[in-house]
Structure 1
Amino acid sequence: MAYQWGVDSTQEATKELYDCVLKKYGKPKYWGRYLSTVPEVSEGLTVLEIERLHSSGTKVMAIYNNFTEATGYRKGKVIAQNAVFHARRLNFPKGKVLFANVEKSFKVDESWIRGYVEGMYSSGYQPGFSCDPTNGKFNEAFCKAASKDNKVSAQSVLCSVEPVTGVTRARKAPKYTPAKLSCKSNVWGWQYGRDAEACPINTNLINDRLLNLLW
C-alpha cells in the first residue's frame, strides 16, 4: 500500500499559501479544507479555491466542522445533511468522502455516529471522521455504533490525529503508524504534524484508497 503526503489548513489555500507549502515542504497530493466558515475557527472552502487546487494537481479533502458536540441520532443525521448541503453547493461529486471533525473534547455517543453514517449513506457521499482514537470518547462510541450497524465500520473512513510526531517535508514523512481504534475500522488517514512554523498548515499521510475518494 502506497501512502500519499498532503496538508490541511483552516485558512484558504491562496496562491501565496500554496507556494509557501511548495517551497518549504513539498507538493501536496491533496489539501484538507473546511466546507463552511466557522467564525474564529475556519474559513470556508470556495469554488475558486477548489479550481486553484485542481489546476495545481492537488485534490481536495472535504471536512465539516460546524458543530461542537456529537450526541443523538437525529443530530448526527442533521450534521450529515448540512455537510452534504455544502458539498453539493461546491459541486463535489457523489461518492466522495465528507469528514466530520470530531474533537477529543467533544461529547460523542454511538447514536450520533450511526446518524451521521446513515445520513451520508442515503446521500450518495461516503462518511468520514477526523478523530482521536486514544483520547476522548470517540473510540468507545464508534465501536458501540459499529456493533449495532455494520455500515459504520464498513462504510466509514477514518483520519487519525494521533500520534503527533511533528511536521516534516513531504520526502521526510514518517512511516504510516497512526493510532487505531480498538475495533475494526478503516483508518486510512493520519494527521501526523500540526501547526507548521513556515506556513499555517498541518501535515498528513493517507493511503491510495482514501486518495481515490477525494475530489
Structure 2
Amino acid sequence: MEIYEWGVDSAQNVTEDLFQCVMRNFGYPKFWGRYLVRVPGASEGLTKQEISFIRSKGVKLLPIYNYFQEAKGYRQGRVAANNAVFYARKLGIPKGVPLFANVERFFQVDDEWIQGWTEAMFTSGYKSGIYNDPMVGGFNKAFCNAAKEDEKVKIQNILWSAEPESVPSGPRNPPNYKPKAPNCGGNIWAWQYSRKITQCPIDTNLANSSLVNLLW
C-alpha cells in the first residue's frame, strides 16, 4: 500500500515565522518545495542558510527551477536543465535528488523541450521532475508526444500535478490521493492540491513516499 506524505511549497523564503504559521494552521510538513532562483515578482531564491533551517526541522527539501517563461525547443530544454543543475550544485544539493521544472499552465510548451530537459537531467546525476497542469494548457499534448518519441520521457520523469484543486488541509485530514495525469499516464508522484490559502503564503501538497525518500 502506497503511503502519501503531506508537505507545502512557497515562493517566499522559509523563516521561523512562516514555519510556525504552517504548524499553527495546518500541521508539520514532511517536505517543503522551494525555488532555486530568485525571479522578481514571482519567487525568492533558496539560500544555503534557508536549507540548513529547513533540514534542522527534519523537513525535506523539494527543489524547483523556474527561471524560464516558456518551455519550447530541445536546446532550451537542455539549457534549463543545465541551469537547474548549476544552481543545485551551488547550493550543495546532492546528486540523486529530483529537480522539478516549473511548467506553468500558461506557458507555451512543446515535446522537444521536454525531451531536452529529460535527457540533460538524466546525464547530470539528478532526477528529472516536472511540475505541470495536465488539464489546462499545452503540457498534456507535449508530454505525450515526447513520450511517444522516446519512452524514457515517461519512465524517467517524476510528475507533480497541479490538478484537481481541492480545499486547503493539513496532514491530519488530506484529500484522497487522486491527482490528474496526462492522457498517456506517467509517474504522478506529487499533487499540489490547494493554492488558494489565506492563512499562510503557501500551497499544500501530497507526495508518495517514493518521492519523499528521494528528497534531501
Match of 2:124 in 1: 123
Shift of 1:147: 1.1
TM-score by length of 1: 0.99
Instruction: Show the 5 A alignment for 1:60-209.
Output: 60-209=61-210
> How many angstroms apart in 2 are the aligned matches of 1:189 and 1:18?
21
Distance (Å, rounded) in 2 between the aligned partners of 1:213 and 1:80: 18
Is the aligned partner of 1:44 residue 2:45? yes
What's the RMSD between the two structures over aligned residues?
Answer: 0.7
Q: Secondary structure at the match of 2:46?
A: coil
CA deviation string 1:67-119 (max 9, x = no partner): 11000000000000000000000111101100000011111000000000011
SS at match of 1:170: coil
**Once superposed, which parts of structure 1, at least 4 consecutive aligned residues long, lie more than 4 Å away?**
none
Q: Does 1:28 align with 2:29?
A: yes
SS in 2 for 1:95: coil
Percent identity at matched positions?
A: 52
Indicate yes or no: 2:13 matched with 1:12. yes
Task: For 2:85, give the aligned amino acid.
Answer: V
Letter in 1 for 2:71: A
Q: What is residue 59 of structure 1 aligned with on the other side?
A: 60
Instruction: Output the TM-score relative to the length of structure 2.
Output: 0.98
Q: How far 1:184 moved relative to its partner? A: 3.0
Q: Which amino acid aligns with 1:105?
A: F
CA distance in 2, matches of 1:18, 1:105: 30
Q: Secondary structure at the match of 1:33?
A: strand
Please state whether the residue corresponding to 2:214 is helix, strand or coil.
Answer: coil
**Could you tell me how far apart the structure 1 residues matched to 2:199 and 2:107 are?**
30
Q: How far, CA to CA, are the matches of 1:128 and 1:161 in structure 2? A: 13
CA distance in 1, matches of 2:105, 2:8: 20
Give the Cα separation in 2 of the matches to 1:160 and 1:151: 19
How many residues matched?
215
CA shift, 1:170, in A, is: 1.8
Deviations 1:172-198 (A, max 9, x none): 110001011111300000000113211
What stretches of structure 1 of length at least 5 have no aligned partner? none
Letter in 2 for 1:11: Q
Q: Deviations over 1:26-58 (max 9, x none)?
A: 000000000000001000001111110111010
3-state SS of 1:172 partner:
coil
Letter of the 2:132 partner, please give it.
C
Is the 2:6–2:170 Cα contact (8 Å) retained in structure 1? no
Deviation at 1:150, TM superposition (A): 1.6
Which blocks of at least 5 consecutive residues in structure 2 are unaligned? none
Provide the secondary structure at the position in 2 that maps to 1:169.
coil
